Amino acid sequence: MNNNSKVLALKYRPQTFDDLIGQEVVAETITNSIKADKIPNAYLFTGIRGIGKTTTARIVAKALNCSNGIDKLCKENFCESCKSISESSHIDVLEMDAASKTGVDDVRDLIEFSKYGPTSAKYKIFIIDEVHMLSKQAFNALLKTLEEPPEYLKFIFATTEIKKIPITVVSRCQRFDLSRIKSSELLEFIKKIKDKENGKISEDALKLIVKISEGSVRDSLSLLDRALLSLDEGKELDLNSAQKIFGYFDKSQLIDLFELILKGEETKVISIYRKIYDQGVEPKVFINDFLELLYYFKNINSLTLESTNFSLNDEEFSKIKNLSNQIDSEVLILFWQFAISSLEEIDIVSNQHLSIEMLLIRLMHLSSTKSENKIGNVEVDLKSENFVKNIETELTSKTINQIKNVSQEEKVKPEVQTEIKAEHEININAFEDLIEICSKKREIKLKYELEKNVNLVKFEKNRIEISFNESLDKDFVKDLSSKLFEWTGERWIITFSKLKGQMSVKDKEKNVKKQLIDEMKNSEIFKSVMDKFHDAELIDVNSNKDGVDND
């Protein structure tokens, strides 16, 4: 294949350790180990996509088998061994894709092949890409050979999913974590490639490529390739054109939109979003960029322009810094929660674009609701972890109440539609009173949650502080708050605490029962029963509260 016809990611693929960018420590460590003749049985390279795992594996294979040795490693005019490794045609260097050969039979064939020494090189080398795709049985079959291979045999593994590899395999390898390439380093690299290809691309457009590639060299070269192909002869690719090509939009538009959300300018907010949507920006991309902006607003005082990975320019950075001083942290945290939940929502909505518009409208109403420091019948402590949950449930319940089926309204007579009034005669002064009133009012679900999934931290007048387990119903706070107001005619503050709190009612009952069983097992009655019935088992004890002998 003509070198000029190759895609940039292959055309400029590193051929030596010196060509690698961002992995200097890895390259130096491997070189030193080969020079000291302390070569591990197996190398394991892990990291994100496109940072040089397979490329490094090939370079290691060259370093081990180069005809000139490690001190005079081929850099330009490759020896026959280095050339054939680069072209994946070396008879003693076998490259295998574990994604297509996952089974134990494939590994057995590999082990069988390993019994024969190298034909022309010093080492026989197996390079297994995406090694985490091997089956459990395949890994097990590989273990013994991996731990004690013949002197001439070396393994090199590459993976993006290190956690999927059994620890027994990882422990038999020398592991190298390849780092994500720094933005400034990647920018300088693609600038050189752009110049070699005689491309005319503005620095802002190159910075956008760096941002989208997220530290992946291969991704950045693929995007650069795409940008160069879209150029008209003699014309420079600027940021606006690059944004259209890659489906990204100007961050200043998003900052303006965010400012209008806080002001409640609904018409202008929707107008700006529709312009962004018309540029070809996908809803998920929009939400992810919106989340990124929220992060900058929350942490701008601890960031520098360089640390934003070229996401912002000088003007945008300054504007965010000025605006951030006028926004409460609680608002930003709430916006984050709603945006995250919308990522799940858009997957079940047929028109994702409409879902984003509704998100923006909800955020505007959310901002105004927050300033009132009150939601429905429940006062909410803005600093409590429960604030997000309360406001979501309240907004949801308002929406549901407004959407009524016409046929249902016809069936309900006007005189029946009366407002629920509070039962002011009920006093709740302790947690036990609350459980008892739930029982009397037949609120079985609430009673169950209070007894089973709630740990009381503090109970005061009109304030309950609790911790909970993962089984607590998501509507618990909304339901309990509503019932408390209905029963007492007063607002109650319900907050979640980081403290563990008391043992739940059910756990207390279990402990009491266990104690009774243990006491009974030590009694003479139980011992006499066990003497006669050796296989008997005590599973329950009923306490005699009245002190009456039931023998």
Where exactly are the structural domains of the chain? 3-177, 183-246, 251-372, 373-385+399-502, 505-551
Digit-by-digit pLDDT tens for the chain (551 residues) are: 556 678 999 999 999 998 999 899 999 999 999 999 999 999 999 999 999 999 999 999 999 999 888 888 888 888 999 999 988 889 999 999 888 888 888 888 888 888 888 988 899 999 999 999 999 999 999 998 998 999 999 999 999 999 999 999 999 999 999 988 888 899 999 999 999 998 899 988 998 898 888 889 999 999 999 999 887 777 888 888 888 888 776 678 888 899 899 888 899 999 999 988 887 788 888 898 899 889 988 888 888 766 676 677 777 888 888 888 888 888 888 899 889 888 888 888 888 888 899 999 988 887 655 544 433 333 444 444 444 455 555 444 444 444 444 334 444 444 444 344 444 567 888 888 888 888 888 888 888 888 888 888 888 888 898 888 878 887 888 888 888 888 888 888 888 887 878 888 888 888 888 888 888 878 877 777 777 776 667 777 765 544 444 44
pLDDT of residue 407: 39
**Separation between Cα atoms, residue 70 and residue 64, nearest integer Å:** 7
Cα–chain center distance at 541? 48
Question: 251-372 has which fold?
Answer: Zinc Finger, Delta Prime; domain 3 (1.20.272)
pLDDT of residue 373: 42
Tokens of 231: 């150029």
Residue 294, classed as helix, strand or coil, is helix
pLDDT of residue 50: 92
Long-range contacts of 68-77 (CB under 8 A, 24+ apart): 70/31, 70/34, 70/35, 71/35, 73/16, 73/17, 74/16, 75/15, 75/16, 75/18
Contacts of 179 (CB under 8 A, 6+ apart): 22, 23, 47, 51
Greatest CA separation for the chain? 105
Q: For the residues of 143-177, what is the DSSP string, one character each?
A: HHHHHS--TTEEEEEEES-GGGS-HHHHTTSEEEE
**Separation between Cα atoms, residue 533 and residue 222, nearest integer Å:** 78
Cα–chain center distance at 551? 62
Nearest to 480 by CA among 424, 526, 510, 441: 441
**Separation between Cα atoms, residue 345 and residue 267, nearest integer Å:** 23
The CATH code that applies to domain 3-177 is 3.40.50.300
Nearest to 289 by CA among 248, 338, 245: 248
pLDDT of residue 403: 41
Q: Which amino acid is at 380?
A: V
Phi, psi of 365 (to 5 degrees): -70, -35
Residue 80, classed as helix, strand or coil, is helix
Phi, psi of 289 (to 5 degrees): -70, -35
For residues 386 and 480, is the Cβ–Cβ distance under 8 A? no
Instruction: State pTM to two decimals.
Output: 0.59
Domain 183-246: CATH class, spelled out: mainly alpha
